[in-house]
Structure 1
Amino acid sequence: MDSLLKHMVHMTGHRDHAMLDMSTISAVQEMAGAAQTRMLGLSRSAGQDWVRSRASVRGDHPARVEDQLGTGRGEPLDQYPALARCLAEHSANATQDEDGRSTMWVPIWIGEHAASCVEIVRTAPFDPEAVHMIDGIVGVYRNFYNLLDYSERDSLTGLLNRKTFDDQLARMLQANPEPPLPGQPERRQLTAEHEQWLAVVDVDHFKLVNDRFGHLYGDEVLILIANMLQNSFRAHDRVFRFGGEEFVVLLRAVTEQDVGRIIDRFRSAVERHVFPQVGKVTVSIGFTRITASESPVVTLGHADQALYYAKSHGRNQVCHYDQLVADGLLQTIAPNDTVEFF
């Protein structure tokens, strides 16, 4: 009991999803006498369901983060038939015995949706006491996850808020390979798995919307655009409301050939949409590549420069910072330059 209480105190002392994942699987590993425990992320992409390991712990080794950012798809859900049936039937858990090992999957249900799942592997069958212990720990995780998630959300749109942005961007910078210095050989090829992007979205003439139709309709425009952002980008991308009419998107694992097309598809969807009472609304977008050699302020400043160019050259368009620089239309930001945001 003392050990369980210690784990509960440790779990509820975090303000970070990754640390909560690790402390939860550590608690399950010890209290259930497991050989291995993983926190799995569940997502859907390209018409297929995927399972990826976010954190894991084996034996007496410390828990470790594996793919908290979700830069890789992981494995198809079809490779986990027992878990797939569990999710389809909205069951509390699923078990499978094979080669003298017992595996249990416990989805973290938030309403009708499960975006996470605890996987526990034991060398003995799961007895009722172990199942009860696991359910209790998962219940604490679910409740505290909801509290953390609520604190990170914008109250109007439900998107991630600005205070969570710095941490998310810092993690993406750490996950990116640093480019080689001039004259040095390429250490790692930059593939779609490593390419990350930041886009800044600004609603065109939003003040006129508020002045002409009132703030209630202005808020409705922001909510609808937030919904369109979530529907236009993938589950493992991150969308933030920065305040006012400005949004930021962190796009993960997408090639340079695809990123402009993906962002412009969203811009076009906004342009085609008819907003209640307001009618037509457009957005301007600037985006840039995220690299480990540049600070978060510089990275955000590059995207903001591209956005400013889009807004000052006709609006309702997408501008790529690196392309603007290559074409001589923008100058690079020096590290000590002041960056002005909308």
Structure 2
Amino acid sequence: MDPLLKHMVDLTTHRDHSMLDLSVISAVQELACALRTRLLSIYLLRDQIYVMPKASISQLQPAQIEEHLDPSQDGEPITNYPALAHCIQHNLANAEHMAEDGLRTLWLPIWIKDKANVCLEITNPTPYTSQTTQIISGVVSVYRNFQNLLDYSERDALTGLLNRKTFDDQLAKMIASTGEQENGSAPDGEERRQRHKEEKHWLAVVDVDHFKRVNDQFGHLYGDEVLILVANLLQSSFRSNDRVFRFGGEEFVVLLRSTTYDNARKIIERFRQNVESHAFPQIGQITVSVGFVAVSPYESPVVILGHADQALYYAKTHGRNLVCHYDELVREGELATSASNDTAEFFFD
């Protein structure tokens, strides 16, 4: 089978973003005879644009997904790559740069609705022919179309957030990475090991307070607008490496990656305050209640979600507009476990 056709078949068989990322860099690496190919994330952090590798492959290294615990430390300002920065600023199809050592780097942003969150980077010692660039552009177009299809199937139609069916897979991956983080050795010495001990993954359940009253008093169109605006506040309040889901109705779930308890509470509190201070058209003030819990590799997804739900229920029944931490409530005697098994736990308040 022709190599190009083989890679097209491979690209169109995947139903997972990570596998699709690996397929596109493998295809470009072979078709361009490149020294190295990377897929870069492009994201905004503290009003500055950063780039960070998502996946990479080279002549000496097989294709792999790049795992990053902290984008603020693992990313680079896009200003480190002037040609790419100019390309993104002016919505160009590609940019090329030749370094002092003669290596040539070609960047091809993946434009979706005038926004590029991902960019293909190809490094080679020889110039790129027009035929090679044309073939790569075709591969990028197929990749972009399938990313769109996958993204559409994983998004809530109203808010644009990740939907319920993607949650189980994302939580399972987070639990697995929590186990690896706790069991693996840290290569950068005792300080990094200590930091990993302090940092955890977190699950937060968010519920809009008195949402039924909004629908009853103002109608479902205004209710939908509230959900859209809360979703926007969720996206702007949490970090680029956190995952936000619409769970159904007025309930949302957030998976926070690698942060301390103090930072997790601070981030969640910031979101709660952002909602409380936001002026919702026609309606005025809206508040949210939040329950959150640390993600443990020793507990099932059902139990972890149940703990966060129990903390949320406590917040809803003790005044609303609160952020409550499950373990803190247990330590203070506000929640007590009465029975437990592998699938569920029952509590008394």
Q: TM-score, normalised by structure 1?
A: 0.91
Q: Which moved more, 1:330-339 or 1:214-223?
A: 330-339
Matched, 1:83 2:87: no
CA contact (8 A) 2:303 2:344 kept: no
Counterpart of 1:111 in structure 2 is: 113
Aligned with residue 334 of structure 1, among 332, 337, 340: 340
CA distance in 2, matches of 1:313, 1:127: 67
Q: Which moved more, 1:13-22 or 1:266-275?
A: 266-275
CA contact (8 A) 2:39 2:121 kept: yes
CA contact (8 A) 2:300 2:342 kept: no
Mark the CA change 1:78 to 1:291 in structure 2 (over 3 Å): closer, same or farther. farther
Mark the CA change 1:192 to 1:43 in structure 2 (over 3 Å): closer, same or farther. farther
Mark the CA change 1:70 to 1:17 in structure 2 (over 3 Å): closer, same or farther. farther
CA distance in 1, matches of 2:75, 2:273: 31
Matches within 5 A, 1:285-324: 285-324=290-329
Matched, 1:142 2:147: no
Identical residues among aligned pairs (%): 59
Matched, 1:252 2:257: yes
Counterpart of 2:51 in structure 1 is: 51
CA distance in 2, matches of 1:30, 1:199: 43
Q: TM-score, normalised by structure 2?
A: 0.89
Matched, 1:124 2:129: no
CA contact (8 A) 1:199 1:287 kept: yes
Where does structure 2 lack aligned partners over 5 or more consecutive residues? 184-189
Q: Which moved more, 1:249-258 or 1:147-156?
A: 249-258
Matched, 1:23 2:29: no
Report which of the two has the higher share of helix.
2
Q: CA offsets, 1:211-267, max 9 Å, x none?
A: 222222211111111111111112222110000110011112332222112111111
Q: Which moved more, 1:252-261 or 1:233-242?
A: 252-261
Counterpart of 2:34 in structure 1 is: 34
CA contact (8 A) 1:108 1:114 kept: yes
Aligned with residue 160 of structure 2, among 150, 158, 161: 158
SS at 1:63's partner residue? strand
SS at 1:253's partner residue? strand
Mark the CA change 1:187 to 1:335 in structure 2 (over 3 Å): closer, same or farther. farther
Matches within 5 A, 1:213-228: 213-228=218-233
Mark the CA change 1:77 to 1:291 in structure 2 (over 3 Å): closer, same or farther. farther
CA contact (8 A) 1:36 1:56 kept: yes
CA contact (8 A) 1:195 1:254 kept: yes
CA contact (8 A) 1:38 1:120 kept: yes
Paired residues in the alignment total 336
Counterpart of 1:238 in structure 2 is: 243
Mark the CA change 1:25 to 1:178 in structure 2 (over 3 Å): closer, same or farther. closer
Q: CA offsets, 1:107-161, max 9 Å, x none?
A: 1111221111111111211111111111111111111111111111101111110
CA contact (8 A) 2:302 2:343 kept: no
SS at 1:314's partner residue? coil
CA distance in 1, matches of 2:247, 2:343: 21
CA distance in 1, matches of 2:316, 2:215: 19
CA contact (8 A) 2:94 2:109 kept: yes
Counterpart of 1:97 in structure 2 is: 98
Q: Which amino acid aligns with 2:82?
A: P
Task: State the Cα distance separating 1:339 from its structure 2 match.
Answer: 5.8
Q: CA offsets, 1:64-99, max 9 Å, x none?
A: 111278756422222222211211222111111121
